[in-house]
Amino acid sequence: MHMLLEHFTPEHAVLIRGLPLGSSRMTDSLGWHFTKSRKYSVKSGYDAERSAKQRCQVSRFGLDIYPLLAGVWRVAFPPKIKHFMWQVLSGCISVSANLNRRGIGCDSGCARCRADEETVNHAIFRCLPARQAWALAQVPVGPVSFPTDSLYANVDHFLGSANPGAQVAAFPWIMWYIWKARNARVFENIMDNPENVVRLAIGEASTWLQAQAEEDGADISPNPSAPSTRGTGRVGSLPNDFSGYRCFVDGSWKAGETFAGAGWVCSAATEVSPMKGAANFRQSLSPLHAEVEAFVYAMRCMIGHDHREVAFYTDCSDLVKMVSSPQDWPAFKTYLDDIKMDKKEFSSFSLSLISRNANVIADYLARQALAPASWSSFHSTIAWRLSPRSAFHFMMFMRRLSIEAM
């Protein structure tokens, strides 16, 4: 540790010490810092950009539309319509006023009502056919007499449960079909009836919302501003009859602690008393790292006991995802390569998600192992009937535990 402190700050030295060391050599690779898996996602990119702008604290003048833009992405409707609404609020759809501003020569007037200028707000809300469509949809006008001359006020009329237009769940589809009717007039010289526009929009909205309700097994809220929530994983039930062994695993991690803990409980159908094991090791980078290290530790203890038919159980959904789809978690490649190698020692192997209530004993052992005085691992006596490769890996792992605790 003192060599690290000679070249790095204490904060960086702790991070470097927490880096996992695998059993095989690996080439360095780049990772995305802003996700747990270190794999880039568009959502994390937007979050990182927004956080950077907040840190810069740039002074803005005029109306701030960022809450409106954020509200668009939270409502429950198809991605293509979310993107269209974002374009509407950003003012980048190809109405005549925008085309002229970009240097494209065209008639700046509205092709449907012959207004002098076709802006975004005019095309979606203020044009005569658009106003007729909104009236047929029975949108409450509210205190501001919707639609107004402000594009942002018109969109905000529908966003938020307290706003007058919030009860109109089909409003994104109405905007979308008004825009399609405008394009039909401009490019195909077809004048759609506003009544048909509203009927198509409401029918499409009802079909999509019903499909979401059937998929989720619950009714979709009529308020489009209410975000939908999904579970992080399916929790399995424990079978009463099983063969081989069942091993419950858990890791424990606390910020600022010197150690992370691991605990496991293994039981067999033919044995009354379960085996238990726990260990602590040098603090890892995150709680998820501690869960993975606990799982590797439990696997190698099972190999040491010569248990080759083992069903593992954890209450960490990310660990289950990681083992089932290792290519999606490049930040944990060191661990996953070891897991892949150790899995070959089992004739029957599985990893399932259970509730925390079903994993209380392993959780207790992992928490108790956090105490610095209990750095050495404990578990039932190991029968050393290992293949040469698994014996080597197990000894290296136990050696690492003892070195890290010094």
- 313 by DSSP, 3-state: which? strand
- 154 by DSSP, 3-state: which? helix
Assign 295 a pLDDT band (cuts: 50, 70, 90). very high
Q: What is the pLDDT of residues 304-359, one digit of tens each?
A: 999 999 999 999 999 999 999 988 888 888 888 889 999 999 999 999 999 989 99
Instruction: Note the Cα 209 to chain centre separation in Å.
Output: 22
- pLDDT for the residue numbered 375: 45
- pLDDT for the residue numbered 271: 75
Pairing of strands 309-314, 245-252: parallel
- pLDDT for the residue numbered 87: 92
Residue linked to tokens 């998600």:
353
The tokens for 339 are 């897991």
Q: What is the pLDDT of residues 47-67, one digit of tens each?
A: 888 777 666 555 555 567 788
- 98 by DSSP, 3-state: which? helix
Q: How far is it, in rounded angstroms, from Cα 148 to Cα 157?
A: 10
- pLDDT for the residue numbered 320: 93
- Rg for the chain (alpha carbons), in Å? 30
Determine the Cα angle at 121 with ends 117 and 125, to 5°: 110
Assign 190 a pLDDT band (cuts: 50, 70, 90). very high
- pLDDT for the residue numbered 406: 47
- 319 by DSSP, 3-state: which? helix
Neighbours of 59 (CB within 10 A): 5
- pLDDT for the residue numbered 63: 62
- Does position 137 have pLDDT exceeding 50, yes or no? yes
- Does position 376 have pLDDT exceeding 60, yes or no? no
Assign 36 a pLDDT band (cuts: 50, 70, 90). confident
> How would DSSP label each residue in 172-203?
HHHHHHHHHHHHHHHHH-----HHHHHHHHHH
More confident residue, 102 or 11: 102
Least confident of 117-121, 143-147, 260-264, 359-363: 143-147
Which residue type is seen at 58?
A: V
Which residues, 6+ apart, have CB-to-CB distance to 134 below 8 Å? 125, 146, 147, 174
- Does position 118 have pLDDT exceeding 70, yes or no? yes
Assign 378 a pLDDT band (cuts: 50, 70, 90). low
Across the range 9-29, mean pLDDT stands at 69
The tokens for 171 are 């409003």
Across the range 140-159, mean pLDDT stands at 85
Question: What mean pLDDT is reported for the chain?
Answer: 80
Every domain of the chain and the residues it spans: 66-216, 245-404
Cβ(244)–Cβ(311) under 8 Å?
A: yes
HSE-CB at 378 with a 13 A cutoff on CA atoms is: 8
Q: How far is it, in rounded angstroms, from Cα 41 to Cα 35?
A: 8
More confident residue, 294 or 382: 294
- 265 by DSSP, 3-state: which? strand
Give percent of the chain above pLDDT 90.
38
* CATH (residue range 245-404): 3.30.420.10
- Does position 380 have pLDDT exceeding 50, yes or no? no
Assign 234 a pLDDT band (cuts: 50, 70, 90). low
Phi, psi of 227, deg, nearest 5 = -70, 145
Least confident of 93-97, 316-320, 367-371: 367-371
